Homo-oligomer: A and B are copies of this chain.
């Protein structure tokens, strides 16, 4: 079993100085979010992460979820941990008091989510999916649907799921074949869904499935998909749980990781049709999906961040204990944390974690503003910013999470390859994050087409202009670290603008932007992460100059940003070449010669 220590100091630094918690707390509806309350919420969430969720993570991996006589059994301790979440009303943290929620900003929920994902990703998928279902019903459901489902979902008494994927319909939702036939006030749903996270379990008295299906006369493709609520148990008039619906888990996948999370094949309508209730209007299912997608993708990005932090802590703690020779340049035999290459790997993870955290929290704050900002123009600006950052956070934080978890294994040497150590689990768990909720290629398509080409690069250029402005300012700083960071960031911003420019002016062959999408997403992730590190460094420098705060932490922050500037940002020119020169070569070998 490996410990998890909530990184509260860095989280609060980011919330306060980079993500603008005070601005978010000033938005209508978030008045509760005083710094004191947020501090105690994070402390308590951190305690749950460290004391309740982390201790059952490895055992959950070993035991795995099991389907026994038609019943999904979660690992030992999962039920009790779920009870802790219910007791604290944690599922409802970001929802309005009207539905039983705590009314805190999504930004605070993001910080809580990071810790829980870090502590136990396989477990935390369950409340995460329930929050997604709440968002869907909140945004698109009828008043009656809200009244029926939200109070129980928000308290966590019932869990929610997303039933999207089918064996022939993964990235291509247009291929969905599950049928929905109108039958009075409801529909009868039939078909099979795969890869349904927490598709069934008995931690809650009901499971509310949100399922995409197609009505008989729906147009083909994505324009003919509708969204339905399909409860595991039908809900009686009085709100109590009634008859079993015609939906069942028929098998669980045997996966590389997140073993504790049941990934179900769900069968709808084996006995005549599952009762489903249309959400919103027919054929608008995909549109409703997009409404929820920003939250869902942010959450998966937070998984990438969380697992990287966890891998970091585990590797660091091992490196502090393990003795293996006298580190070069050291005066005595000291632990391997003093070996320069071990330090390089730890700094690589640390600097990425801090950059990802800042970028993800900034994206969460933008989503809050997009939701609650009363001024329409500001709200619209925040929405564009949030939507621009969304695929970058999802794509970059998950790809990076996998790499960092792999580095975490490497730091352990041979012990990292032994499952008992726990480092390998983080790599196995992390590996799903760049696949589900839209692969990195899907994020890149979203970024390229909807977030850059659609507005002719306006948002991208505006975001990068801020980066350049800060970079120029820091480049002129007297402080050696700040100047180096500024210089490196200036180059990064310049290359990023060049990449956007190329994208806007090289779309005669539509395959080129698609070929360049993932390198572009990574490039922007690195530059925008670098921007946040530079902001952090400037704040750290100024606090140090004014003798505020914890000098050790602030100096480390400054030097970590410097490390990022000289080890991570320099990857940008290579990515630019992959985009501008390399896109053409992607399709140059015919498929039959591959």
Task: Name A residues whose Cβ lies closer than 8 Å to a Cβ of B.
Answer: 165, 168, 170-172, 174-175, 194-195, 253-257, 316, 320, 323-325, 328-329, 337-344, 346-347, 350, 402, 406, 409-410, 413-414, 416-420, 424, 427-428, 431-432, 434-436, 439-441, 444, 484, 509-512, 514-515, 517-518, 552-553, 555-556, 559-560, 562-563, 566-567, 570-575, 577-578, 581-582, 585-594
Query: Once the chains are docked, how many angstroms separate the CA of A511 from the CA of B350?
Result: 20
The 7 closest A-B pairs by CB, nearest first: A172-B325, A570-B577, A566-B582, A556-B593, A340-B514, A341-B441, A340-B515
| B residues near A441, Cβ cutoff 8 Å | 339, 341-342
Interface pair B344/A518, CB less than 8 Å apart:
yes
Knowing A417-B255, A582-B566, the reply to whether A324 touches B172 (Cβ < 8 A) is yes
| B residues near A350, Cβ cutoff 8 Å | 589, 594
Interface pair B593/A555, CB less than 8 Å apart:
yes
| B residues near A567, Cβ cutoff 8 Å | 577-578, 582, 585
Query: Once the chains are docked, how many angstroms separate the CA of A436 from the CA of B416?
Result: 11
- For the complex formed by this chain, how many copies does it contain in all? 2
Interface pair B413/A589, CB less than 8 Å apart:
no
| B residues near A553, Cβ cutoff 8 Å | 593
Listed residue (A320, A510, A570) with the most chain B CB atoms within 10 angstroms of its CB: A570
| B residues near A552, Cβ cutoff 8 Å | 590, 592-593
- Min CB gap A80→B, angstroms: 26
Interface pair B418/A253, CB less than 8 Å apart:
yes
Which of B174, B572, B591 contacts A337 (CB under 8 A)?
Answer: B591
Query: Once the chains are docked, how many angstroms separate the CA of A324 from the CA of B589?
Result: 21
- Min CB gap A499→B, angstroms: 13
In the complex, 17 of the A-B residue pairs with CB atoms within 8 angstroms, ordered by the A residue number, are: A174-B325, A175-B324, A256-B424, A328-B514, A340-B512, A341-B515, A347-B586, A406-B406, A410-B434, A417-B435, A556-B593, A559-B585, A559-B588, A563-B589, A566-B577, A567-B577, A571-B574
Query: Once the chains are docked, how many angstroms separate the CA of A573 from the CA of B577?
Result: 11
Interface pair A589/B347, CB less than 8 Å apart:
yes
Query: Once the chains are docked, how many angstroms separate the CA of A431 from the CA of B431?
Result: 13
Interface pair B435/A587, CB less than 8 Å apart:
no
| B residues near A417, Cβ cutoff 8 Å | 253, 255-257, 431-432, 435
Q: Taking CB as reference atom, which chain B residue is nearest A449?
A: B328
Interface pair A413/B171, CB less than 8 Å apart:
yes
Interface pair B570/A574, CB less than 8 Å apart:
yes
Which of B170, B413, B427 contacts A431 (CB under 8 A)?
Answer: B427
| B residues near A323, Cβ cutoff 8 Å | 168
Knowing A256-B428, A419-B254, A515-B343, the reply to whether A337 touches B594 (Cβ < 8 A) is yes
Query: Once the chains are docked, how many angstroms separate the CA of A432 from the CA of B439?
Result: 26
Interface pair B563/A419, CB less than 8 Å apart:
no
- Min CB gap A414→B, angstroms: 5
Interface pair B254/A170, CB less than 8 Å apart:
no
| B residues near A347, Cβ cutoff 8 Å | 585-586, 589, 594
Q: What would 16 more interface pairs be, CB under 8 Å, given A255-B419, A414-B436, A566-B585?
A: A175-B324, A175-B325, A253-B417, A254-B419, A320-B591, A339-B441, A339-B514, A341-B515, A409-B435, A414-B435, A417-B432, A563-B585, A570-B573, A570-B575, A570-B581, A571-B571
Interface pair A514/B341, CB less than 8 Å apart:
yes
Interface pair B344/A515, CB less than 8 Å apart:
yes
| B residues near A592, Cβ cutoff 8 Å | 552
Listed residue (A172, A175, A343) with the most chain B CB atoms within 10 angstroms of its CB: A343
- Min CB gap A121→B, angstroms: 13
Listed residue (A174, A338, A484, A594) with the most chain B CB atoms within 10 angstroms of its CB: A594
Which of B414, B431, B587 contacts A406 (CB under 8 A)?
Answer: B431
Which of B195, B573, B581 contacts A566 (CB under 8 A)?
Answer: B581
- Min CB gap A44→B, angstroms: 26
Query: Once the chains are docked, how many angstroms separate the CA of A194 from the CA of B415?
Result: 10
Interface pair A578/B570, CB less than 8 Å apart:
yes
Which of B194, B329, B566, B587 contacts A343 (CB under 8 A)?
Answer: B587
Query: Once the chains are docked, how many angstroms separate the CA of A441 from the CA of B348?
Result: 15
Query: Once the chains are docked, how many angstroms separate the CA of A158 from the CA of B172?
Result: 54
Knowing A563-B582, A570-B573, A573-B570, the reply to whether A591 touches B338 (Cβ < 8 A) is yes
Knowing A574-B573, A577-B570, the reply to whether A329 touches B171 (Cβ < 8 A) is no
Q: Taking CB as reference atom, which chain B residue is nearest A337?
A: B591
Interface pair A171/B325, CB less than 8 Å apart:
yes
Interface pair B344/A586, CB less than 8 Å apart:
yes
| B residues near A589, Cβ cutoff 8 Å | 347, 350, 555-556, 559-560, 563
Q: Taking CB as reference atom, which chain B residue is nearest A350?
A: B594
| B residues near A406, Cβ cutoff 8 Å | 402, 406, 431
- Min CB gap A85→B, angstroms: 26
Query: Once the chains are docked, how many angstroms separate the CA of A358 from the CA of B561?
Result: 38
Q: Taking CB as reference atom, which chain B residue is nearest A550?
A: B593
- Min CB gap A540→B, angstroms: 12
Q: Taking CB as reference atom, which chain B residue is nearest A329?
A: B511
Query: Once the chains are docked, how many angstroms separate the CA of A85 from the CA of B83?
Result: 57
Query: Once the chains are docked, how many angstroms separate the CA of A316 from the CA of B591?
Result: 9
Knowing A344-B518, A413-B171, A417-B432, the reply to whether A588 touches B570 (Cβ < 8 A) is no
Query: Once the chains are docked, how many angstroms separate the CA of A256 from the CA of B582?
Result: 35
- Min CB gap A330→B, angstroms: 9
- Min CB gap A86→B, angstroms: 29
